[in-house]
């Protein structure tokens, strides 16, 4: 067993860390307060090759692996979790399935600008009546001649207000449930019949914008189907397997930021005549935070390693996501406790980390869904 990163992985981690510290972190408080989308930072992520980390250079990406992606995601999310999820959705929910299931033309025309960060993508699965149970979706697509006609509504779609492309999941035959679902590539800007709703006002990750996407008899060429007819559910599930590694990495970043803030504060703040870090009650909290964060990191890197080595990783990515998300909730709660009353004030970054943490427990499959995935693998033996 070898627990060491390659030179390439370390170089990308260093680059992402520098960018995060110098350019993202100083903006995070303001982006959160204003709920502002960081268009310039996203463009720079593209220039640094971080919007298509694991996509080969011939299709606009950087040609690294998923372990590298985890390292970079943690760094960016440590500085700003909202910016982190913008990157994560583009990398794992959009570029990854386009690379895996796309035709050569789709890869050249649609994937390449997305992976290079010149355009932005989003993933349209969730609907008002179909969140945890996407097979119950109502959005329809039907083929008429050599055209596809798409109708329906998707909600809570991360990146939608800023995106150029959406991967939309729609049913071609509702009777068939998941076997009737197809994935369709939808251009979002100035396309007849497509309307993107206003951004939702969210508790956390406020730099990333989410909204609905409404489609009314939207016409698309048949060449915009991603994967075969009826294969969409598989596209969605395999994509989410990888996406959950991205969200686990985002949780690592948020938790790492909260731990760093807590360590600094505990060394500086004094009670009963000494820094609070020297009180065992606080020191033990810090010890648990560090231990849990490392455990989540190892689970996340294991899932990425398995993906990189083309081995099954569905159970492992669900384990990484549920553990990292719940670790992030526990850790950010403790970070506020370490800060006492100050931690409850907007002035202190741990208040933002606490709000940002919650979504990791919800999107890309709630913690309850991760437990369903894990238990079904365990029970299969
Ligand atoms: N890989 C490949 N195939 C898979 C699979 C996987 N991980 N999981 C399921 N499948 C296949 C099954 O093998 C089965 O195929 P066959 O019929 O050919 O045998 C088919 O899919 C149906 O499987 P299930 O009967 O298990 O499906 P289900 O309807 O019971 O659902 C579920 C299973 C795991 C609960 C799934 O619905 C799920 O993951 N739900 C959560 C949805 C989710 O994560 N949404 C996130 C939205 S995106 C988002 O949040 C983005 C963002 O904002 C950042």
The sign of the CA dihedral 320, 293, 43, 303 is negative
The atom number, within ligand 1, closest to the CA of 247 reads 54
The atom number, within ligand 1, closest to the CA of 157 reads 53
| pLDDT tens, per residue, the chain with 381 residues | 889 999 999 999 999 999 999 999 999 999 999 999 999 999 999 999 999 999 999 999 999 999 999 999 999 999 999 999 999 999 999 999 999 999 999 999 999 999 999 999 999 999 999 999 999 999 999 999 999 999 999 999 999 999 999 999 999 999 999 999 999 999 999 999 999 999 999 999 999 999 999 999 999 999 999 999 999 999 999 999 999 999 999 999 999 999 999 999 999 999 999 999 999 999 999 999 999 999 999 999 999 999 999 999 999 999 999 999 999 999 999 999 999 999 999 999 999 999 999 999 999 999 999 999 999 999 998
- As annotated, the active-site residues are 364
Closest of 79, 27, 36, 360 to residue 207, by C-alpha:
36
What's the 19 CA to ligand 1 centre distance in angstroms? 35
CA dist 219 and 59 (Å) reads: 26
* pTM score: 0.98
What's the 289 CA to ligand 1 centre distance in angstroms? 32
What's the 135 CA to ligand 1 centre distance in angstroms? 8
Question: What is the biggest distance separating any 2 CA atoms in the chain, rounded to whole angstroms?
Answer: 80
Residue of 93, 96, 120, 237 best suited for mutating to test ligand 1, as the one with most atoms within 8 Å of CB: 237
Question: Angle 66-79/81-88 helices, nearest 10 degrees?
Answer: 150
Which tokens belong to 110? 């649609």
Q: How far apart are the first and last CA of the chain?
A: 24
Which tokens belong to 262? 């807590």
- Which residue owns the Cα nearest ligand 1 atom 37? 133
* Contact yes or no for 159/89 (Cβ under 8 A): yes
- Which residue owns the Cα nearest ligand 1 atom 40? 132
- Which residue owns the Cα nearest ligand 1 atom 11? 234
List residues near ligand 1 (CB under 6 A): 85, 89, 93, 123, 125-126, 132-135, 158, 178, 233-234, 237-238, 240-241, 314, 363-365, 369, 372-373
All structural domains of the chain, each given as residue ranges with its CATH number in brackets, are 7-120 (1.10.540.10), 122-232 (2.40.110.10), 233-380 (1.20.140.10)
């Amino acid at each position: 067993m070898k627990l060491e990163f390659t030179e390439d992985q370390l170089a990308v981690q260093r680059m992402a860390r520098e960018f995060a510290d110098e350019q993202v972190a100083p903006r995070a408080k303001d982006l959160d307060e204003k709920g502002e989308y960081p268009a310039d930072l996203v463009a720079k992520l593209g220039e640094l090759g971080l919007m298509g980390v694991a996509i080969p250079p011939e299709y606009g990406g950087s040609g690294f692996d998923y372990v590298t992606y985890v390292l970079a995601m943690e760094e960016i999310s440590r500085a700003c979790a909202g910016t982190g999820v913008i990157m994560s959705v583009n990398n794992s929910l959009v570029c990854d399935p386009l690379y895996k299931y796309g035709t050569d033309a789709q890869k050249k025309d649609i994937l390449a600008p997305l992976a290079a960060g010149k355009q932005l993508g989003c993933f349209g699965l969730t609907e008002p009546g179909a969140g945890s149970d996407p097979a119950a979706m109502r959005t329809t697509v039907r083929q008429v001649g050599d055209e596809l006609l798409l109708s329906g509504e998707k909600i809570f779609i991360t990146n939608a207000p800023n995106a150029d492309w959406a991967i939309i999941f729609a049913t071609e035959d509702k009777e068939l449930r998941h076997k009737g679902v197809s994935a369709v590539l939808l251009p979002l800007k100035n396309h007849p019949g497509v309307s993107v709703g206003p951004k939702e006002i969210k508790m956390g990750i406020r730099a990333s914008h989410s909204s609905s996407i409404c489609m009314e008899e939207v016409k698309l060429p048949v060449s915009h189907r991603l994967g075969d007819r009826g294969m969409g559910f598989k596209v969605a599930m395999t994509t989410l397997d990888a996406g959950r590694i991205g969200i686990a990495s985002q949780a690592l970043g948020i938790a790492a930021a909260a731990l760093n803030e807590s360590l600094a504060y505990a060394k500086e703040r004094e009670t009963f005549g000494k820094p609070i870090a020297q009180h065992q009650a606080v020191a033990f909290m810090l010890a648990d935070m560090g231990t849990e964060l490392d455990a989540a990191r190892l689970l996340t890197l294991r899932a990425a390693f398995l993906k990189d080595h083309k081995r099954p990783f569905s159970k492992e990515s669900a384990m990484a996501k549920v553990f990292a998300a719940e670790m992030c909730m526990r850790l950010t709660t403790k970070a506020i406790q370490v800060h006492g009353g100050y931690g409850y004030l907007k002035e202190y970054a741990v208040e933002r980390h606490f709000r940002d943490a919650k979504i990791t427990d919800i999107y890309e499959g709630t913690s309850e869904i991760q437990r369903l995935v894990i238990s079904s693998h365990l029970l299969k033996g």
